[in-house]
Chains A and B, each alone.
Chain A
Amino acid sequence: MGQDSVLVRPTIRTAAPADYDVVAPLVDAWWGRPILGSLPRLFLDLFYRTSLVIDGSSGPTAVLVGILSPSDPETAYIHFVGVAPSHRRQGYAGLLYEEFFGLARTAGRTCVRAITAPVNVTSANFHRAMGFAVTGPLPGYNGPGHDMLVFERSL
């Protein structure tokens, strides 16, 4: 029964630009709603060194797209996280966040931020569990009609 009852710590690797063509067709299904519009190719073309991937037996099963702000030397930002439905509740998102926290600290960042839509209750609670302070929903944060919850955590 070795395949049952085991929570295996997966290997996390740095993303590559080529991951985009593999991940892009998957993310809507991973999120359960259209999300690809929030993940244009530029994020993995230009920020792959601060983005992370967990591979499964047939390709990526979890992805984090992160940024070290080029404008604010204190701040890192998590733009996107997706986990394949077949790998939910295995702690993958938390592992990706912890890895990114370490990466950002090493780069001298002292603060990490993220946002999500107010409807995403599980995301808000997950960020609380990861130590983020939650603010909002902030009306019009991303323009008229686009309220957002804002997450911030010290590193």
Chain B
Amino acid sequence: MDAGLTRRFTRTKYRPGYSIAEVDALIEQIEATLGLRPRYGPPVTAAEVAAAKFRLVRLKPGYEMREVDEALDRYQEQLQDQGWG
């Protein structure tokens, strides 16, 4: 896991947050699609990002949901700009 990803969002604990592993996995896939990192798997489309689901965690650390949603909104625009609508 890229250490940069894990510092990207505010951590939550004892309140709902998105699963860190699931968010990181999607962002890795997005950034690979955008050419920001090597791509080993299939590309991800903006539509798939819009519909992505994450587990909510409360007891374990998670990511701040609003921050993730806003980041994914920005990624969707970048994917569309590169033709991955």
Pair A125/B46 contact, Cβ less than 8 Å: yes
Stretch at the interface among A65-73, A99-107, A126-134, A137-145: A126-134
Question: Which of chain B's residues 23-78 have a Cβ closer than 8 Å to chain A?
Answer: 45-60, 65-66, 68-69, 72-73, 76-77
In whole angstroms, how far apart are the Cα atoms of A136 and B16 in the complex?
37
CA A34 to CA B66, docked complex, whole Å: 18
Question: Is the pair A122, B56 in contact by a Cβ cutoff of 8 Å?
Answer: no
A10 an interface residue at 8 Å Cβ cutoff? no
Q: Are A5 and B65 in contact (CB under 8 A)?
A: no
Docked complex: B1-22 residues within 8 A CB-CB of A: 16, 18-19
Chain B CB within 8 A of A40 CB: no
* B65 partner residues in chain A, CB cutoff 8 A: 85-86, 88-89
The answer to the question of A22 belonging to the interface, with a C-beta cut-off of 8 Å to chain B, is: no
Residues of B within 8 A of A (CB): 16, 18-19, 45-60, 65-66, 68-69, 72-73, 76-77, 80, 85
| Chain A residues within CB distance 8 Å of chain B | 1, 3-7, 85-86, 88-91, 94, 121-126, 128-130
Add 8 more A-B contacts to A3-B58, A94-B51 (CB < 8 A): A1-B60, A89-B18, A89-B52, A122-B50, A122-B76, A125-B49, A128-B47, A129-B50
